[in-house]
Structure 1
């Protein structure tokens, strides 16, 4: 018997999971500056309509291989609610395209220090009433809070020091604050960083 019964890997039919993995790699590449917005849109359309593994491979053959397979997947929308309680997002969590935070007589902490950034812009809408929302950002994250309407409350912005001026993520905050506080600040320094007079996150 001659020949092989094994199918060509490139001609294997692609699954929904295969397409999703390629879409995530493309978005990561765009976030790293490897793909222009127009290129990203074109490749995403092709990835979502790809029929075979080969068609997907062509879309990422000029991009670095995915290093982390355990990184959390980014969603388009995340909603956080703190009603007479506390809610937080810290550590290596996936930053969505849009985040809606409702805080009523509670506290919310959104820490972007170690977050996984897949998109260059995060649109955040907040509604704070008799509560507090703290947004913790490293120096490479730029935050705009000009669209927040304040009624008997406060919006405080404490700039992070350090960094090389590179902006990895832009956060546009909008919404309403009533009898509450929105505080934007940098990460806390460790004792060693304080002792050496280094900014938070220094090595």
Structure 2
């Protein structure tokens, strides 16, 4: 770890790397949710395409505003905003499950993806900046490997929780899975809020110059 980042940045780098896992996990759950909604909400395959549209449409909407916001307020503010939206979207699965509304679930996924768009915008740049420019690519590759781990874990977790009973299940499993995710995200937000994260915007500008 010492060769990848400086000791004063180590804690920040570890925290930022957890974000890569969390948005990989969220994406990994999408296909499992798609199948689950087809079975529990009688959603057609054509309608289920709206899940991808809502998810990636949010990335398109948030990308530029998130970048501008972080130029103004810094990476920490961007990460906290992204985690807040992620947790809010996950908690919206509670009323969506109660209403058994596919469109409500789409809205919840849209809010989650808004948060993930903020996190990706912040974490990719921040991970690269947390140390020497000579090891920036190594840091980013290491962080991104946890994104792949999250994408691998998501379908396994979703299959176990949504279909683990052997039948089609119901929306309760979806509800409580996302409540659990929201709790983890809230804990991460608290950690990011209390940890002193270096503001590296001036450092990046100097390197770019």
- Common topology (TM > 0.5): no
TM-score normalized by the length of structure 2? 0.21
Q: Which has the higher helix share?
A: 2
- State TM-score, norm by structure 1: 0.21
Structure with greater strand share of residues: 1
